[in-house]
């Protein structure tokens, strides 16, 4: 038995076919003599081992300095071309396209579709990063996917992916899962975005904001020039009031 109030608080989003481990309390319904397990906690099977491996891998890479700030590159403020490493049919690419088309339709997108979960995903992600590195045809990379379980997100915790991100000379934004999901790729990337949509916002300054900034600059320049002109006119008035200009014949 899993009550709705409990299900709403679970960290795991249950779906048909999942292998899970449930913890709860044994209860009995006396009229029928029926026993039932009232579930209080659900975790994915094997997640404990994955968490332990993830912790060990983080400690190893942190000790090597892969997460240090000295390696972080600046994200260009006005990129012209953005590379995307994610699934070609997932929610992440749709979110990125939607945000960029609204905020900065002039930005060109180059999608390198890859697997984002499963045994072969990590190798594909690494290959995609190296392809962008070889061609040098983008200003910034977004690497990521939408939400999922720890097992789903595991390719972004693989050591080979972390080392590929670290070695890439193109600035990389990691956008894996939801805001509460922090993968190794998030830690090693130049910038971590909590979601793919936020990653798209980071590479696409809003046209409205840019126009507003330009309007403010135009106003400030006009005001500064006006003050300078006023000062010059006052100086000129002061000069014309001098006797040599008022009565030049006396000189």
Q: What is the pLDDT of residue 56?
A: 87
Global pTM? 0.68
Rounded Cα gap, residues 154 and 184, in angstroms: 9
CA angle 171, 176, 180 (to 5 degrees): 120
**Tens digit of each residue's pLDDT (9 = 90 or more) over 139-148:** 999 999 998 8
Secondary structure class of 245 (helix, strand, coil):
helix
Q: What is the pLDDT of residue 14?
A: 80
Secondary structure class of 86 (helix, strand, coil):
strand
Rounded Cα gap, residues 181 and 196, in angstroms: 12
Q: What is the pLDDT of residue 134?
A: 95
Q: What band does 207 get if pLDDT is binned at 50, 70 and 90?
A: confident
Q: What band does 121 get if pLDDT is binned at 50, 70 and 90?
A: very high
Helix axes 47-64, 159-167, angle to 10 degrees: 30
Rounded Cα gap, residues 213 and 54, in angstroms: 44
**Tens digit of each residue's pLDDT (9 = 90 or more) over 2-27:** 999 988 887 667 878 778 888 999 99
Q: What is the pLDDT of residue 211?
A: 84
Q: What is the pLDDT of residue 11?
A: 66
Q: Is the pLDDT of residue 47 over 70?
A: no
Q: Is the pLDDT of residue 247 over 90?
A: no
Residues 103, 206 contacting (CB under 8 angstroms): yes
**Tens digit of each residue's pLDDT (9 = 90 or more) over 173-193:** 999 988 888 999 999 999 999
Q: Which residues contact 166 (CB under 8 A, 6 or more apart)?
A: 66, 71, 188
């Amino acid at each position: 038995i899993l009550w709705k109030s409990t299900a709403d608080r679970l960290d795991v989003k249950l779906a048909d076919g999942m292998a899970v481990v449930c913890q709860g309390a044994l209860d009995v319904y006396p009229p029928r003599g029926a026993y039932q397990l009232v579930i209080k906690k659900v975790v994915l099977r094997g997640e404990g081992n994955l968490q332990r491996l993830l912790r060990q891998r983080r400690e190893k890479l942190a000790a090597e300095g892969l997460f240090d700030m000295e390696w972080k590159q600046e994200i260009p403020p006005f990129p012209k071309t953005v590379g995307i490493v994610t699934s070609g049919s997932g929610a992440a690419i749709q979110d990125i396209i939607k945000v960029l088309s609204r905020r900065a339709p002039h930005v060109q997108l180059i999608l390198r579709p890859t697997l984002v979960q499963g045994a072969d995903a990590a190798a594909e992600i690494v290959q995609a990063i190296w392809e962008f590195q070889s061609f040098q045809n983008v200003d910034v990379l977004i690497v990521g996917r939408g939400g999922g379980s720890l097992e789903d997100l595991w390719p972004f915790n693989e050591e080979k992916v972390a080392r590929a991100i670290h070695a890439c000379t193109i600035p990389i934004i990691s956008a894996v899962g939801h805001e509460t999901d922090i993968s190794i790729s998030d830690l090693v990337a130049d910038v971590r975005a909590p979601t793919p949509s936020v990653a798209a916002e980071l590479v696409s300054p809003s046209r409205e904001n840019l126009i507003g900034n330009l309007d403010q600059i135009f106003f400030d320049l006009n005001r500064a020039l006006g003050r300078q002109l006023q000062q010059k006119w006052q100086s000129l008035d002061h000069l014309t009031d001098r006797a040599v200009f008022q009565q030049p014949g006396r000189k």
